[in-house]
Amino acid sequence: MKHSEGLEWAIHSCALLAMMPPGTPLPRRLLAEFFELPEPYLAKQLQKLSQAGIVETRRGPRGGYVLARKPEDITLLQMVEAIDGPDRHFVCTEIRRCGPTGVAGKHYTRPCGIARSMWKAEAAWRKELAATSLADIQHLGMAETPPEQTAKAIAWFQANLLQGETE
């Protein structure tokens, strides 16, 4: 019971896209290089973000990924569900119809106290995620990160984007 690593990568990618000046798509090659991640696998996560409508893609030269909406309009829940799916974590397998005593099956057809309690807790989790936007995450990060840090990262990307250009 832990989140996939791909989720971490996806959120980080979004956070990066959010801090780039608008109108500059980042190709996944640079994203992978920046984080030192395996590019083909990162591609999977970015595809999921794309399918979920969180990022937009530009194909061809000077293409890459851009946020589809403003950071304020992208919630943590949307990113999490894009990668991990919308399914509940606690699954009721009906555990052989809740006991062998025949009658059981008839009456336990609706979710019982166990499932509902677990799902209620998940709802609290989702609510918190839905209340957090990508912009909120940025602000939290800013409070701890010196501004020149952000500038350096942006500069790195712009330099590497240009490199492909001039050669």
Partner DNA sequence: ATAATAATGGATATGTTATGTCCATTATTA
Partner DNA sequence: TAATAATGGACATAACATATCCATTATTAT
Contact residues: ligand SF4, CB under 6 A: 12, 92, 94-95, 98, 108, 111-112, 114-115
When asked if residue 44 is in the footprint of DNA (CB under 7 A), the reply is yes
| Total chain residues near DNA (CB under 7 A) | 29
When asked if residue 159 is in the footprint of DNA (CB under 7 A), the reply is no
Instruction: From 87, 10, 5, select the one nearest 55 (Cα to Cα).
Output: 10
Q: Distance (Å, rounded) from C-alpha 30 to C-alpha 42?
A: 11
When asked if residue 141 is in the footprint of DNA (CB under 7 A), the reply is no
When asked if residue 90 is in the footprint of its own copies (CB under 8 A), the reply is yes
Per-residue x/- track, 52-91, DNA (CB under 7 A): -----xxxxxxxxx--------------------------
Q: Do 66 and 58 form a contact (C-beta atoms < 8 A)? A: yes
Instruction: From 60, 65, 25, select the one nearest 47 (Cα to Cα).
Output: 65
Q: Distance (Å, rounded) from C-alpha 69 to C-alpha 132?
A: 15
Helix or strand or coil: residue 66? strand
Q: Do 8 and 79 form a contact (C-beta atoms < 8 A)? A: no
| Total chain residues near its own copies (CB under 8 A) | 67
Q: Distance (Å, rounded) from C-alpha 159 to C-alpha 167?
A: 13
When asked if residue 113 is in the footprint of its own copies (CB under 8 A), the reply is yes
Q: Distance (Å, rounded) from C-alpha 12 to C-alpha 70?
A: 16
State which of residues 20, 28, 54, 137 lies at the interface with DNA (CB under 7 A): 28
When asked if residue 22 is in the footprint of DNA (CB under 7 A), the reply is no
Contact set with its own copies (CB under 8 A): 1-5, 7-9, 11-12, 15, 33-37, 76, 84-85, 87-93, 95-96, 99-101, 103-104, 107-108, 110, 112-114, 116-118, 120-122, 124-129, 132, 136-142, 144-146, 148-149, 152-153, 156
